[in-house]
Amino acid sequence: MLDSFSASELNDEIENSLDAGHFHLAYQPQINLRTKAVDAVEALIRWTHPSMGSLAPADFILRAEALNVIGPIDLFALRQACRDAVHWPESVKIAVNFSARAFSRPALAADIHAAIVNSRLDPKRLEIEITETHQIEDHRQFAQNADEIAALGVALALDDFGTGYTSFQALRFSNFTKIKLDATFVQNSVSENKSHAIAKAVASLGQDLSLTTVAEGLESKEQVDLITSFGFTTGQGYVFARPMPADVLSHFLAADAA
């Protein structure tokens, strides 16, 4: 439905919906596979369009990125997530997604710093997850932004590892502390030899580079047991918890800490 929108049309739709409060965040916990405690929470954007109804991220994120109008959504998610996270236990980090294309903006680190200051969130509790949906076009600017963000005390995570353009280049040149294996490899690792081998190799890579490794899309105990045996440190998926509103998450975290 949004595929027919031009850049200016989609930008107007996004701006109007932001002004009207039609965007909101859901949060999905990331579970420490050793302690079973919540280590972090990922912020997931949702759009309830006034005429098109509830839109899943797949319905609008890629289109907004392709037309380079994703910036206002990124900033909304960043600011809202920081404001929500200050009410949660200090041990829980908040992860916010940005596309690799966002790292071409010279003001990115300044925007992140402003969100931290305005929310009074400890920068060590913020993680920026970079998705691989677009190839890095300006490696120098990417590296500069990554260095500036790391200098703020904010962690960098590489999301959807194995599905896009930037993986090994980014790991080689930037200050990443976490990699997240894409759900397709995780869910197929039980039954498919190649996915099994890839998942195991990513866990080993993380150990060699002293990175936190997250397995996304976990849906069964069998998958959790296998991923844990590979050496992954963290799991995320429906087997632990579905994405939930901030108020529901607060109760979830309180129960987790009890």
Identify the domain containing residue 57 by its residue range.
2-181
pLDDT (mean) for 209-221: 94
Residue 181 identity:
L
216 is catalytic: yes
CB of 51 closer than 8 Å to CB of 1: no
Mean pLDDT of 96-117: 91
Which parts of the chain are beta strand (E)?
23-32, 38-49, 53-55, 93-99, 126-131, 155-161, 176-181, 212-215, 234-235
pLDDT value at residue 60: 87
Q: Which of these is catalytic: 13, 42, 129, 216? A: 216
Q: State the pLDDT confidence band at 212, using cuts at 50, 70 and 90.
A: very high
- From residue 122, give the alpha-carbon distance in Å to each of 34, 100, 115, 255, 258: 25, 24, 11, 23, 23
* 15 assigned to some structural domain: yes
Q: Write down the pTM of the prediction.
A: 0.92
- Answer whether residue 230 is part of any domain: no
Task: Provide mean pLDDT across the span 123-147.
Answer: 82
46-76: burial string, b at 16+ Cβ within 10 Å, e else: bbebeeeeebeeeebbbbbbebebbbebbbb
Residue 33, helix vs strand vs coil: coil
- For the chain, give the percent of residues with pLDDT over 90: 59
Q: DSSP readout, 165-215? A: S-HHHHHHHS-EEEEEE-HHHHHHTTT-HHHHHHHHHHHHHHHHTT-EEEE
pLDDT over threshold 70, residue 170: no
Residue 162 in this model has a pLDDT that exceeds 80: no
Angle at 166 between CA 99 and CA 122, to 5 degrees: 50
Q: Is 151 inside a domain boundary?
A: yes
User: Which of 140, 148, 141, 178 minimizes the C-alpha distance to 160?
Assistant: 178
The per-residue pLDDT for range 3-30, each reduced to its tens digit, is: 788 889 888 888 999 999 999 999 999 9
Asked if residue 90 is part of any domain, the answer here is: yes
Give a yes or no: residue 19 inside a domain: yes
pLDDT mean across residues, the chain: 89
Q: Is 33 within a domain?
A: yes
What does the pLDDT read at residue 141?
85
CA distance 196 to 163: 15
pLDDT value at 177 more than 80: yes
Residue 81 belongs to a domain: yes
> Which CATH number characterizes residue 119's domain?
3.20.20.450
- Residue 196 in any domain: the answer is no
Q: Which two tokens stand for residue 154?
A: 């904010």
Contact 96, 78 (CB under 8 A): yes
Asked whether the predicted pLDDT for residue 235 surpasses 60, the reply is: yes
**222: confidence class by pLDDT, cuts 50, 70, 90:** very high
Q: Inform me whether the pLDDT recorded for 169 exceeds 90.
A: no
Total tally of structural domains belonging to the chain: 1
Query: Could you tell me which of 3, 170, 178 has the C-alpha nearest to residue 100?
Result: 170
Range picked from 171-180, 185-194, 207-216, 249-258 for highest mean pLDDT: 207-216
Tokens 């309180």 -> residue: 254
pLDDT, position 167: 58
